[in-house]
Amino acid sequence: MKKNILIVVAIVASLGIIGYVLMNNKKENEAKTAIVAEKNASISVKVATVKTEEVSLDFVANGNFAPLQELSFSAEKPGRVVRVLVDEGDRVRIGQTLAIVRSEQITADLQTAQASYQNALTDYSRFENAFKTGGVTKQQLDQAKLNLVTSKSRLQQAKVNIGDTNIKATINGIVNKKYIEPGSVLGAGTQLFDIVNVSKLKLKVNVNENQVAGLKVGTTISVKASVYPDATFSGKISFIAPKADASLNFPVEIEIANNAANDLKAGMYGTAEFSANQGKQSLMIVPRNAFVGSVSSNEIFVIENGTAKLKTVTAGRILGDKVEILNGLSEGETVIVTGQINLQDGSKVDIIK
């Protein structure tokens, strides 16, 4: 009997120990789960520090060279090419004959116009003499005079059309493309030549609103071409767009005088170096990717006590991958630069080192 009691006591004690261990394990697991849940509730982000730096306001902009003038010649009237007087690559000047075209129709029109004019001139002389003797009325004489004026105008136009059979250059430049050969049959609008003037070129670039504010037409700009890395060309700003494009950039054109060998070619890639003439300035800056969405949003998340706080700031100049801050932040604050898409004001954050 006593032995049975001892066995029962031993069993109860064992069960008690097992229960105690299980309770402790449960509390530890709950604590770990709470830590994991808390960590999972936070959003991982990367950060940067707001700081003041010595920044140069000089900047560069890239674009392509375009010819100062370019013109595509097309036939105005039908005909057949008799002679072509220039080849691709030839330099031409204003008024130089490029090709000669023959048109039987234009020649026939001139002969008809000459005959009509002579008839009208004869009729007018006859009617004028008859009017003096009362043989015709004043109305008949006026009609003869009108016919004379009309036929003279047609003769002048026919002579102009004959002149059009000599295709002449209307700009100075180089023949870039020739579309015709002797014997080519032309219709109205047939392409004849492409002529480009590369004695001067335009470098077309785009700048943002902060950069365009300091630019003026006539300012001298240093320009480089990618194929001539050791050469520097001098240019002047010739055009600043009064309105931004769809990307909120302002087109700017810089005119450059080519050298005697015309080393710069239209279509080459070039870089304009804009100097702010202000040296370096101390500016409060943040990384450009700190802004929510884009710089124009003027919103940035900062970290306060482990949470994200959305702040409205005033952005200044865009300096490459950095942006000047005029108001809304203090030096030393921590701003979030990645992960903003998942954040709301007050979200808990976990900083990725």
Long-range interactions of 345-348: CB distance < 8 A, separation 24+: 345/308, 345/309, 345/310, 346/307, 346/308, 346/309, 347/42, 347/43, 347/307, 347/308, 348/41, 348/42, 348/43, 348/306, 348/307, 348/308
Per-residue confidence (pLDDT) for residue 277, from 0 to 100: 64
Per-residue confidence (pLDDT) for residue 235, from 0 to 100: 94
Per-residue confidence (pLDDT) for residue 286, from 0 to 100: 93
The answer to whether the beta carbons of residues 255 and 235 sit under 8 Å apart is yes
Q: How far apart are the first and last CA of the chain?
A: 70
Per-residue confidence (pLDDT) for residue 31, from 0 to 100: 52
Q: Tell me which fold the domain 60-67+197-274 belongs to.
A: Elongation Factor Tu (Ef-tu); domain 3 (2.40.30)
Q: Give me the average pLDDT of each 10-residue run along the chain (353 residues).
A: 58 60 59 46 89 83 92 83 92 92 66 79 81 80 82 74 73 94 88 93 90 88 91 93 90 92 90 78 90 89 93 86 90 92 90 85
- Give the architecture-level CATH label for domain 44-55+281-351: Beta Barrel (2.40)
Name the superfamily (CATH) of residues 104-162.
Helix hairpin bin (1.10.287.470)
The answer to whether the beta carbons of residues 106 and 181 sit under 8 Å apart is no
Return the domain boundaries, the chain.
44-55+281-351, 60-67+197-274, 104-162
Per-residue confidence (pLDDT) for residue 55, from 0 to 100: 79
Per-residue confidence (pLDDT) for residue 167, from 0 to 100: 85
**pTM score of the predicted model:** 0.55
| CA-to-CA separations, 266 to 33, 70, 203, 286, in angstroms, rounded | 68, 10, 9, 39
**44-55+281-351 and 104-162, same CATH topology:** no
